[in-house]
A and B are shown apart, each in its own frame.
Chain A
Amino acid sequence: MIFGELGYYSLIFSILFSILLFFFIYQDYFIKNNNINIKIYSFCFLQFFTIILSFFSLVFSFLLSDFSLASVFENSHSSKPMFYKFSGTWGNHEGSLLLWIAVLSSFLFLFLLNSKKDPKKYRLLTIFFQNILILGFLIFIIKTSNPFEKLIPIPKEGLGLNPILQDPALAIHPPILYIGYVGSSIIFSSSLASMIVNFVSKIWAESIKIWVLISWIFLTLGIMLGSIWAYYELGWGGFWFWDPVENVSLMPWLALTALLHSVIILAKRNIFQSWTVILSIITFALSMNGTFLVRSGILNSIHTFANDPKRGIFILSFLIFLSLLSLIIFFIYQPQKKGNIFFNFSSKEMGIAINNWFMIFFLSAVLIGTIYPILLEVINGKKISVGPPYYNFILTPFLIPFLIIMTISVKMDWIRSSINEKKKELLFLLIFALFFVLMISYFFEEINITVLLIFFSSIFLIFSLFKDFFDFFRNKKKINIAQIISHFGFGLLIFSIAVCSTFSKEIDINLKVGESIKLYNYELKFKDLSMKEDKNFKSIIGNFNLVEANGKIFYFNPELRIYDQPLIMTSEANIKTNFFKDKYIVMNNVSGSDYYNIRFQEKPFMIWIWIASLLIAAGGFLSIILKRN
């Protein structure tokens, strides 16, 4: 069909526009005026247009189930629901790469439209560097992973999409995550450009803050969607496993969070110039690193794409090239210090420095934990696993001072703040939090001291932000509401995770129809099984009654789904959520018997983990809106 050709040739044209752009940027760079040549606008738009056209050609090929394209044949099926045909576009390596490029060029186009106040040379160079990225990925996609590759003869039917990917949360997860990942590309390009034209300044920080916020918000949401999906789809009741693929999305998030703070300090006080630039580069390098690791096939994870070593080598070389380029630019054009700026020890500046210090620590732990097993295997052939126990051991203790310093430093002013005024307030909150923790430890004796301190420090943060919030309504004290919401979200997130992992109950049992069993204060009855047929799967539904001690009954219907294209069985958890806890039941068949394996879990505060993540992102969103007005 026509869409295959249209998509392919649009990509070829966008390469041509890329090359033309380099030429016109070079030409325009030496012309002394304040306006960018209109040709650059045109070609940027044309490039953006052709890439988007190519992307939508692929979308239509998927929607129309055009099996003459290898990528559609391998990842789709005519009986699939329309929505999953659509999301199948990026559910595979080739399509997701095209999405990546589409976001890359969209960001460039948006940058061009939104940077009119900035110096001409800086804008031109940003376009230049962003185009290096676009061109690199365009060559990569055409050379190694052409989504429009033809199949002859044309197959009658496709192979289908992995059923665990046929899920609403996971369908929108990649585009959201990619906006986050790729958003950091424009930060990268503009930081290189600003070093060369000596523009690393307050004004630069103000102008890139919006890009940092956008990518940070989307990355936060993207990671959250992935976790939600893992929670209800993977059937073990967890939401974060410190799996390498989860880690590679967390690393840019940590770097972006550090960058978000250092950009603020650069915008306010014109310090941390080199550091902000370094963080910008690191963030994008980590995003690229994520793409490389996920696509190279060297990771052992449930999320990796089908592998081809050629792809890994290409991305790795491109990553090394970009890193070298940034290093060279950094050493030649390192931002020069302008005068000396002083601040007191108890100041916002110090707080942000400490934030960045801890962020880099968290980042280094996740980084080494992810790549060390790979390195070790290459060096001496030994295979080791680095999993949750490692990260819990390293990261958890450091969260305690981190949260406490976070509480104190948001109360600080710029340059200096007299600690005496705040001492009373903080002491009051401290006692309040200690009292709260004391109560927890009194009622639940089995908690260890680290967890108690996590409770204490997160409660301390939450209380202190509550107080700020109410002060704001009572006497209209000027506060940064966006910051409070995000920080509150973070405190709540840590608190909820601590509650959930400390107090959750879980049990595995084998039951057959008609049996019942006593679990904690409940009685679980396995009533019967029913069958259902859907468009592309059959399901066996278990009907369970969970009876509380006071006679209240919960009805649970976990499912076993048998997808036909491809033939895969999945189990769908049934979760009952309220504000205090989630009850979670998932069932699996036990081969060769009429027993079913039932996994029952009770997870307190689970919903608050998602609410907290949303609050973190909402704070960022609010910050953009407040800035605009």
Chain B
Amino acid sequence: MKLSIKKIIILLFILICSISTSFSAGSFDNKIKKISKNLRCITCQGQSIDASNSDFALDVKNFIKIKLNEGLNEEQIYELLKKKYGSWIVFKPEFKYDNYLLWGFPYLIFLIGGIYIFIKIRKKIIKF
């Protein structure tokens, strides 16, 4: 009985994984939306390009449209915009030297926390 339940679970997991690996590209408009959600409207106060209706935001949306039509991909468009306006414009900070602490800190805390709990609680844990 026990074994069969385990098997079912594994089977279900495999099924889920196999089904969910099919990604679709999404429509053109969705692509513009997705990109403009990851960009900051630098003339507004804390809004994304997508959320804003300012002239700057409209210009950037147009820019994305043109560049997508030219065949550029998402990453290339971010690069172009970063060159023009600085990395302030993208909401996802880059994985690079400057930002190692930003990306690493939470995981470091998680690791330290895990070790701390292990050491502290190991003494308290007994098997009954």
Closest Cβ of chain B: how far from A425's Cβ, in Å?
12
Q: Does A389 contact B (CB under 8 A)?
A: yes
Please state if A431 and B88 are interface contacts (CB–CB under 8 Å): no
Among B91, B113, B117, point to the contact of A388 (Cβ < 8 A).
Answer: B91
Is the pair B20, A368 in contact by a Cβ cutoff of 8 Å? no
Task: Choose from A383, A390, A442 the contact partner of B91 (Cβ within 8 Å).
Answer: A390
- Give Cα A234 to B47, complex, Å: 10
In contact, B9 and A507 (Cβ under 8 angstroms): no
Partner of B109, one of A235, A341, A361, A438: A361
Cβ-defined contact, A390 with B45, below 8 A:
no
Q: Using a CB-CB cutoff of 8 Å, which residues 44-79 of chain B contact chain A?
A: 45-48, 50-53, 55
A382 sits at the interface (CB 8 A) = yes
Query: B80 at the A/B interface (Cβ < 8 Å)?
Result: no
* B87 and A383 within 8 A (CB): yes
> In whole angstroms, how far apart are the Cα atoms of A353 and B121 in the complex?
9
Residue in B closest to A415 when the chains form the complex, CB atoms:
B128
Chain B neighbourhood of A591, CB < 8 A: 55
Q: Is B5 an interface residue (CB 8 A)?
A: yes
Which of A345, A354, A372, A442 has a CB less than 8 Å from the CB of B19? A442
Among A385, A388, A442, chain B packs the most CB atoms within 10 A around the CB of A385
* Interface residue count on the A side (C-beta < 8 Å): 67
Kindly list chain B residues whose C-beta atoms are within 8 Å of the C-beta of A302: 45-47
Give A193-207 interface residues, CB cut-off 8 Å to B: none
Interface residue A523 (Cβ < 8 Å from any Cβ of B): no
Instruction: List CB contacts (< 8 Å) of A416-453 with chain B.
Output: 416, 427, 430-431, 434-435, 437-438, 441-442, 445-449, 452
**A13 at interface, CB cutoff 8 A:** no
Q: How does the 8 Å CB contact mask read for B87-128 relative to A, with 1 for contact and 0 for none?
A: 111111110001101110110011001100100010111111
CB distance from B8 to the nearest CB of A (A): 6
Cα-based distance from A79 to B4 in the complex (angstroms): 73
Of A19-27, A52-60, A99-107, A236-244, the segment with at least 4 beta carbons within 8 Å of chain B is: A236-244
- Which residues of B lie under 8 Å from residue A236 when comparing CB positions? 47-48, 50-52
**Distance of A273 from chain B, by nearest CB (Å):** 12
> Nearest A residue to B44 by beta-carbon distance?
A302
* Complex CA distance for A484 and B115, rounded to whole angstroms: 30
Interface centre among B29, B52, B106, B123 (most CB of A within 10 A): B106
Q: How far is the CA of A437 from the CA of B98 in the complex (A)?
A: 40
CA A302 – CA B40 in complex, angstroms? Answer: 13
CB of B98 within 8 A of CB of A380, answer yes
Q: By the criterion of a CB under 8 Å from any partner CB, how many residues of chain B are at the interface?
A: 57
Please name all residues of chain B whose beta carbon is closer than 8 Å to the beta carbon of A447 when the two chains form the complex.
Answer: 20
A562 vs B21: C-alpha distance when bound (angstroms): 49
For the complex, is A550 an interface residue (Cβ under 8 Å from B)? Answer: no
On whether A448 and B16 interact (CB within 8 A), knowing A302-B47, A357-B114, the answer reads no
Q: Which of A365-393 contact B (CB under 8 A)?
A: 365, 368-369, 372, 376, 380, 382-390, 393
Interchain CA distance A342-B126 in the complex, whole Å: 7
Judge whether A76 is part of the interface by a CB distance below 8 angstroms.
no
Q: Encode B19-46 as 1/0 by CB contact (under 8 A) with A.
A: 1111110100100010001101000011
Cβ contacts under 8 Å, B109 to chain A: 360-361, 364
Q: How far is the CB of B64 from chain A (nearest CB, A)?
A: 13
CB of A300 within 8 A of chain B?
yes
Give Cα distance in the complex from A427 to B5, angstroms: 8
Q: Measured between alpha carbons, how far is A447 from B103 in the docked complex, in Å?
A: 25
- A350 at the B interface (CB under 8 A): yes
When the two chains form the complex, which single residue of A349, A385, A393, A435 contacts B90, counting CB atoms closer than 8 Å? A385
| A446 lies within 8 A of B98 (CB) | no
Contacts of A554 in B (CB 8 A): none
Which chain A residues border B128 with CB–CB below 8 Å? 344, 416
On chain B, the residues within 8 Å of A372 by CB distance are: 99, 101-102, 105
Contact check, B93 vs A301: say whether CB atoms are below 8 A apart: no
**B17 near A390: Cβ-Cβ < 8 Å:** no
How far is the CB of A72 from the nearest CB of chain B, in Å? 25
A residues near B26, Cβ cutoff 8 Å: 446
CB distance from A226 to the nearest CB of B (A): 14
Question: Which of A245, A345, A357, A438 is within 8 Å of B125, CB to CB?
Answer: A345
Q: Is the CB of B16 within 8 A of A452?
A: yes
A343 near B19 with CB under 8 A, answer: no
- Determine how close the nearest CB of chain A comes to the CB of B29; give it in whole angstroms: 7
Across the interface, do B92 and A431 meet the contact criterion of CB distance under 8 Å?
no
Interchain nearest-CB distance for B115 vs A (Å): 11
User: How far, in Å, is B102 (CB) from chain A's closest CB?
Assistant: 5
Q: Closest approach, in angstroms, between the C-beta of A627 and any C-beta of chain B?
A: 28
Question: Is A629 on the interface with B (CB-CB < 8 A)?
Answer: no
Apart from the given pairs A364-B109, A389-B38, A446-B22, 5 other A-B contacts in the complex at a CB distance below 8 Å = A344-B127, A383-B88, A386-B91, A387-B48, A390-B91
Return 12 A-B CB contacts under 8 Å, by A number.
A301-B45, A341-B124, A357-B114, A384-B99, A385-B90, A390-B102, A394-B103, A431-B9, A434-B9, A438-B16, A445-B20, A597-B53
Q: Which 8 A-B pairs have the closest CB atoms?
A: A387-B91, A236-B51, A389-B92, A365-B106, A364-B109, A383-B88, A301-B46, A368-B105
